[in-house]
Homo-oligomer: A and B are copies of this chain.
């Protein structure tokens, strides 16, 4: 992919809501962006809404309706980024840098019409490039787009990361910087593990796995788009200049940072916000599992993990995890289904969590699983379910032991 702004490197930066929460912070971001611009770079900045703006707008809507129309929520929420983007453009002009703010619609973010969870169809980068070639910093509202019928859409909470990467693709940039309130991707959540390590890099796949297993650094869709189009992500702090974490292909990372065959644990992820569903004594017949997950699909339930053990006297136990809030929504359907397929019992359990190690090749390296299970056992923590892939080993444990489990596993592999 070539750079269409002739001879000028393009920098795409995304600033999250905590980085633009106040006028003073917006001014600091403007100074930082202005410095980059003065170095001759063409700069595109994607912003989230200021601080808690989105939450506040949601709260207003909830005062009026318990189930506001999704279309209207998109209309409402997209105001938040309009405010932060225009204020940042004003702050940039004050720094002596020519700037222009664009709504998602003006910037060419074309989506489908799935309100509050729109999928990006295309980024038409012409208008951004038009301004860049005239030396202007382009400030774009994150999180939002427009459908082909000119309906305002949003990409779902946290969607500004996704916006930023999509704009990078749309204008032919190679990298996208995600500037936030942490200075990189860490080996564990610092609220639980005392001194986690900052990663110099991790692969797209590792990042996606960590995100799906509970890490909250990057919006998964942003990483998927970055992987698909080969955009390198840099996660770093909006408050400091310290180097952050590079998220890139395994090839690039290993080449640049010198790992070859060695399997590395990239981090320990955890998720307390899950519930376990166990369908016990399901007849071991073809098509049964499919029917179970059809029911869940109809609710757009995101399944976090599925485990089916060996069948026993013609019956299976099928267990899976869903987000805690989903459990109550699907409980009724599961009970009905359980009768239909002749399961002996259905159990829903909110009191569980997952602890996972993530790293390319962890499953292949048999020693890792054993060390993880042993570390948990030494703390007296019982493992309820186990699931593995080439990228992760994940254990379901009782929620009350989750923090202890994360600490034990982190100690085993990363301290």
Write the residues of chain A forming the contact surface with B, with a CB cutoff of 8 angstroms.
23, 26-27, 30, 57, 60-61, 63-65, 68-69, 71-73, 75-76, 78-80, 82-83, 85-87, 89-91, 93-94, 100-101, 103, 106, 150, 152
The 6 closest A-B pairs by CB, nearest first: A76-B86, A75-B86, A79-B79, A79-B82, A68-B90, A65-B94
A90→B60 CA distance, assembly (Å): 10
Given contacts A75-B86, A76-B82, A78-B82, list 17 more A-B pairs with CB under 8 A: A23-B60, A23-B63, A57-B83, A60-B83, A61-B90, A65-B90, A65-B94, A68-B93, A71-B100, A72-B90, A72-B101, A75-B101, A76-B83, A76-B86, A79-B82, A106-B150, A106-B152
Could you say which residues of chain B place their CB within 8 Å of the CB of A30? 64
| Number of copies of this protein chain within its complex | 2
With a CB–CB cut-off of 8 A, which chain B residues contact A80? 79
27 A-B interface contacts by CB (under 8 A): A23-B60, A27-B64, A30-B64, A60-B83, A61-B90, A64-B90, A64-B94, A65-B90, A65-B93, A65-B94, A69-B90, A69-B93, A71-B100, A72-B86, A72-B89, A73-B86, A75-B86, A75-B89, A75-B101, A75-B103, A76-B86, A76-B87, A78-B82, A79-B82, A82-B82, A103-B152, A106-B152
- Cα–Cα distance between A223 and B71 once the two chains are bound (Å): 34
Which chain B residues lie closer than 8 Å to A101 at the CB level?
72, 75
Which chain B residues border A72 with CB–CB below 8 Å?
Answer: 86, 89-90, 93, 100-101
- Given the complex, which residues of B lie within 8 Å of A89, measured CB to CB? 69, 72, 75
Q: How far is the CA of A247 from the CA of B87 in the complex (A)?
A: 40
CA distance A341 to B328 in the complex (A): 85
Residues of B within 8 A of A79 (CB): 79-80, 82-83, 86
| Nearest opposing residue in chain B for A66, CB measure | B94
Question: In the assembled complex, which residues on chain B have CB atoms less than 8 Å from the CB atom of A57?
Answer: 83
Give CA–CA (A218, B93) in the complex, Å. Answer: 35
Contact call B85/A75, Cβ cutoff below 8 A: yes
Residue from B76, B78, B91, B93 in contact with A90 in the complex, judged by beta carbons closer than 8 Å = B76
- Residue in B65, B73, B87 whose beta carbon sits within 8 Å of that of A91 in the complex: B65
Q: How far is the CA of A94 from the CA of B94 in the complex (A)?
A: 44
